[in-house]
């Protein structure tokens, strides 16, 4: 059984679900919590996934405790009905933490996809750092995306025999989606993408950046738009009103800023592939954009994905307004600085993470043979 609730989870579990469906030894049951709604459904459609169960936990403005309690309450009867031999979760959302503990309480082995990411700060990202550490404590199989993630788990006294380095399934999903060449429906984006315009793609939503930091992001975007009138700033706005109220007033009325609703995953990958620079506080984008040769500036003070920082394709810049302006401006004007980041090697995967994950799952459940670890 695979349980997931948000768009990032859906993107990363989709290759595994597709591979499960072709396994002669395993049967796939999918459960969505609906922690995200429309965005989750879009990804399922792209990958042709029809969930077997939908817990429908989404509600506007609900707190984390309410969300977690809904997952516990609505997932448990499904576990009782299906009685799975194992439960797969991905990443570090509230869906992941709640589903993992619910399965553990029923003595169902938990398989943690993208295990071992650590920032070292329990409050950043919040609540993700705590969610993934909690999940590690109850997991029977840890599918770590990189050797660094494996070492994080070993430092926490996780049994090495339960850890498999798979690469990140986000690369599997990205390669599959880019190959489809899905159309861009918004003409404000389709034209510039087709014409090869200079594009700054921006995503910002992190809870720890809410408030003054996100206001600074909005001001920085306005300054960049005014200083670089030939650069199109594309801002798919997160639906949370706290995010929108902090950022959007600062960019309103600027002709070279396009604010959209959250883009469908296929469209987002097309825009990302066409972008010049990516400015983000997202975790998944730090993995995806380097695979497309895009420099990534991360508006956070730390990251649980240090591999791309070490490789040089990602740079942590925080949320200081002036630094955002300076770092983006440097990449837009300094060809050498841009080339140095754009040509760095992406350490996150080779497109075979799902195959390694299924082999590890078959080894756990039916004594199948594991594949060699991804070496990064």
Q: Is the CB of residue 255 less than 8 Å from the CB of residue 277?
A: no
Nearest 10 degrees: Cα torsion 13, 15, 21, 25: -80
Residues paired with residue 201 on neighbouring β-strands, in sequence order: 234, 278
Q: How far is CA 327 from CA 33, 233, 236, 280, 358, in A?
A: 38, 15, 21, 13, 41
How far is 54 from 62, CA to CA, in rounded Å? 18
Active-site residues, by number, are 92, 114, 128, 205, 207, 238
Structural Rg of the chain based on CA atoms: 20
How far is 272 from 236, CA to CA, in rounded Å? 11
163: left (phi over 0), alpha (psi -120 to 50) or beta: beta
Helix (H) or strand (E) holding 127: none
How far is 116 from 136, CA to CA, in rounded Å? 8
CA proximity to 238, closest of 250, 247, 225: 247
SS3 of residue 134 by DSSP: helix
Residues paired with residue 189 on neighbouring β-strands, in sequence order: none
Q: How far is CA 114 from CA 58, 88, 148, 171, 355, in A?
A: 24, 11, 12, 12, 14
DSSP character at residue 314:
E
């Amino acid at each position: 059984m695979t349980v997931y609730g948000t768009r990032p989870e859906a993107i990363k579990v989709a290759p595994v679900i597709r591979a499960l469906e072709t396994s002669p030894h395993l049967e796939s049951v999918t459960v969505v919590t609906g922690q995200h709604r429309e965005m989750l459904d879009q990804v399922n459609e792209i990958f042709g996934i029809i969930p077997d169960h939908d817990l429908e936990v989404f509600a506007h403005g609900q707190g984390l405790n309410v969300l977690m309690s809904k997952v516990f309450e609505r997932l448990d009867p499904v576990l009782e009905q299906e009685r799975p031999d194992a439960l797969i979760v991905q990443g570090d959302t509230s869906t992941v933490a709640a589903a993992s503990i619910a399965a553990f309480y029923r003595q169902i082995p938990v398989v943690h996809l993208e295990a071992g990411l650590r920032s070292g700060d329990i409050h950043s990202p919040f609540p993700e750092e705590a969610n993934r550490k909690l999940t590690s404590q109850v997991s029977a199989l840890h599918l770590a995306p990189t050797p660094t993630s494996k070492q994080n788990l070993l430092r926490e006294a996780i049994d090495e025999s339960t850890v498999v380095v798979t690469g990140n399934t986000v690369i599997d999903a990205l390669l599959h989606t880019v190959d489809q060449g899905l159309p861009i429906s918004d003409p404000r984006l389709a034209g510039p993408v087709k014409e090869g315009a200079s594009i700054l793609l921006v995503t910002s939503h992190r809870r720890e950046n809410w408030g003054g930091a996100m206001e600074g992001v909005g001001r920085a975007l306005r300054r960049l738009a005014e200083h670089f009138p030939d650069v199109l700033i594309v801002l798919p706005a997160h639906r949370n009103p706290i995010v929108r109220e902090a950022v959007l007033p600062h960019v309103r009325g600027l002709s070279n800023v396009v604010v959209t609703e959250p883009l469908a995953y296929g469209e987002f990958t097309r825009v990302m592939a066409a972008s010049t620079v990516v400015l983000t506080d997202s975790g998944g984008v730090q993995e995806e954009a380097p695979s497309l040769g895009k420099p990534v500036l991360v508006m956070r003070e730390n990251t649980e994905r240090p591999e791309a920082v070490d490789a040089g394709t990602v740079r942590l810049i925080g949320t200081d307004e002036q630094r955002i302006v300076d770092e983006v401006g440097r990449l837009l004007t300094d060809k050498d600085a841009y080339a140095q980041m754009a040509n760095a090697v992406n350490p996150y995967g080779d497109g075979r993470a799902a195959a390694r994950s299924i082999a590890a799952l078959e080894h756990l459940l039916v004594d199948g043979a594991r594949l060699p670890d991804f070496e990064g």
